[in-house]
Amino acid sequence: MRLSISKSKNASSLYVIKDITVRGKRTTKIVEKLGTYDDLLKKLDGEDPIQWAKEYIEELNKKEREKKQKIILKYSPVKRIKKDQQRNFNGGYLFLQKIYYELGLDKLCDELSKKYKFTFDLNSVLSRLVYGRILFPSSKLATHRQANSFIEPTEFELQHVYRALDVLAKESGFIQSNLYKNSLNVSKRNTSILYYDCTNYFFEIEQESGLKQYGVSKEHRPNPIVQMGL
């Protein structure tokens, strides 16, 4: 990391930047904005902002180098592995975990837990169901078993999964509306234009009734149909 000074008509701004490689090309990214020269001069009680910034960046580089130190582990070829002790863990869900929390699903679980006075961790249940559905779609029982192989152990029982499903189904509208709002912070989209698709499905009856009315059917059947927009 190094210091970068961006000058304009009114001020000089100090940045911490870092050289990175993106798709085989060298570029730089801003790690931290330290502030303008004048603002730093006031905060530092007259100390030279540029010298302070260089010392600050050197400290950051020192900490980064410490994190990259090599660690040597010694293994014994004769040592016995304890029986029935879990030694392999699934970490593939961690990239999903970041998106899960960016969408605020943990906060929605907190609200629902307070409303329904849950004694178990609803967030743990929902997160494992989401990860499991994406990574290895299977039954609730199999998902619960697979979740026990995660790096972070589960702290709920299978019965809690089924109890949570009833509430999640009941609060589906609340969850989806908040999820849509929170998703705007993760992925920007143009909400001034919305697209929808239409289809219809028919019934094996001859008479119209309620939503089932005669219309143009894609199967060209003379039966009442229901039109659906998505």
Instruction: Quick: pLDDT tens for 203-215.
Output: 877 788 888 888 8
**Phi, psi (degrees; rounded to nearest 5) at 203:** -125, 150
Q: Which residues of the chain have pLDDT under 70?
A: none
pLDDT at residue 22 in the model: 74
**Phi, psi (degrees; rounded to nearest 5) at 100:** -55, -45
14-27: pLDDT as tens digits = 888 888 887 777 88
Q: How far apart are CA 129 and CA 114, in angstroms?
A: 20
Are residues 19 and 78 in contact, defined by beta-carbon separation less than 8 angstroms?
no
pLDDT at residue 228 in the model: 80
95-112: pLDDT as tens digits = 899 999 999 999 999 999
Q: Give 2-65 as a DSSP string.
A: EEEEEE-SS-EEEEEEEEEEETTEEEEEEEEEEEEHHHHHHHTTT--HHHHHHHHHHHHHHHHH
pLDDT at residue 194 in the model: 81
Burial of residue 108, with CB atoms counted within 10 A of its CB: 0-12 exposed, 13-18 middle, 19 or more buried: buried
The domain segmentation of the chain, as residue ranges, is 2-66, 94-186, 195-230
